[in-house]
Amino acid sequence: MLAQLVELEKAARAALDAVADEQALAGWYGAYLGRKGKITEAVKALGELPRAERPAYGQRVNEAKRTLEAAHEARRAAIVHAAQDDALLADRVDVTLPGRPAHPGRLHPATRTQREICAIFADMGFQVYRSRHVESDEFNFGLLNMPPHHPARDMWSTFYTTTPGVILRTHTSPGQVHAMREYCPEPVRVVLPGMCYRYEQITARSEIMFNQIEGLAVGPGITMTDLKGTLVDFARRMFGAERKIRFRASYFPFTEPSAEVDMDCILCGGRGCRVCKETGWLEILGCGMVHPVVLRNGGYDPAVYSGFAFGMGPERIAMLKYGIQDIRYFWGNDVRFLEQFG
């Protein structure tokens, strides 16, 4: 019996050495140490031995059981470690490799230009006033001196909604009325940047969505001289200290008198070239003295208060500044265009 036990233990050890994974290890345990395992059976056989042989056999079989249990535990630990090592090796990270370059974001050229323009006017004491994109017909037209059926409404092709009287703003001007009503009777000096919407054919020069920046100054005794001084200072800060501007009479329903402002061509300095179409001048904005009706709609008495207003398109300003030929680049989302700025 003892000799058989020695053989059994040897066989169990050899089988354990051949075990390579946890599944095989569980199989081995069942075969030798489980409820019906060979070692368990060998322990049970103790009761069938002649009394004289029992102590020596009993000691030996218990010793075999203990050592095999310890060997099983050691094998289990080795298998678990080996599996962990394999996993670590498979997921190995080479920390000496160079990292992936992070692509820093940048501002959209329209946003950048818009911020540049706002910063120039902020320096002159204008604060940024943000206003809603979805407007009422009354604020977009009526309060700006364009009652229903006024022919000047044709200057703005409008996106209407299914709710009567609710439209997408065609300019940031309705925000000026909100600003006046909020600040009246205090003097007001604001710039209004933001997206406007027009139902128009998209071409190289016009888009259905575009940014606008309008400015407004209202107070006692504001004159057209203030408007001229403000705009020449703006043109020089934005496009260079040597810039000249000129005013051409124009018409807007919300300003009287109204003007369009040209700047001497930044490319040829006024001599005439392809960019200025040989005129020597580039149109940069529209402006005027706030119409008395509009002042009254904002809450100000036109006998006491006066004001000037102006409006420009940051995309158009960016096109002049960077020589961009087509306004459709701005919202075309082509990264090759966008990454050239900032």
Which residues contribute to the site for ligand 2U9 (CB under 6 A)?
144, 171, 173, 176-177, 212, 214, 216, 252, 254-255, 285-288, 290, 294, 309-313
In angstroms, rounded to a whole number, what is the distance separating the alpha carbons of residues 178 and 200? 26
Beta carbon nearer to ligand 2U9, 39 or 222: 222
Beta carbon nearer to ligand 2U9, 68 or 192: 192
Q: In the complex, what is the shortest distance from the CB of residue 91 to ligand 2U9, in angstroms, rounded to a whole number?
A: 57
Strand partners, 134: 168
Q: H helices of 91-172, where? A: 109-123, 137-140
Q: In the complex, what is the shortest distance from the CB of residue 287 to ligand 2U9, in angstroms, rounded to a whole number?
A: 5
Beta carbon nearer to ligand 2U9, 76 or 181: 181
The widest CA-to-CA distance across the chain, in whole angstroms, is 131
Q: In the complex, what is the shortest distance from the CB of residue 342 to ligand 2U9, in angstroms, rounded to a whole number?
A: 22
Which residue minimizes CB distance to ligand 2U9? Answer: 286
Cα angle value 247/240/121 (rounded, 5°): 70
- Here the tokens at position 295 are 């002042």
Q: Is residue 231 within 8 Å of 245, Cβ to Cβ?
A: yes
- Nearest Cα residue to 327 out of 335, 336, 341, 337: 337
Q: In the complex, what is the shortest distance from the CB of residue 179 to ligand 2U9, in angstroms, rounded to a whole number?
A: 8
Burial class (CB in 10 A: 0-12, 13-18, 19+), 332: exposed
Q: In the complex, what is the shortest distance from the CB of residue 233 to ligand 2U9, in angstroms, rounded to a whole number?
A: 18
CA 158, 297, 192, 265 torsion: positive or negative? positive
Beta carbon nearer to ligand 2U9, 176 or 266: 176
Q: In the complex, what is the shortest distance from the CB of residue 191 to ligand 2U9, in angstroms, rounded to a whole number?
A: 11
Strand partners, 13: none
Beta carbon nearer to ligand 2U9, 42 or 319: 319
Beta carbon nearer to ligand 2U9, 28 or 310: 310
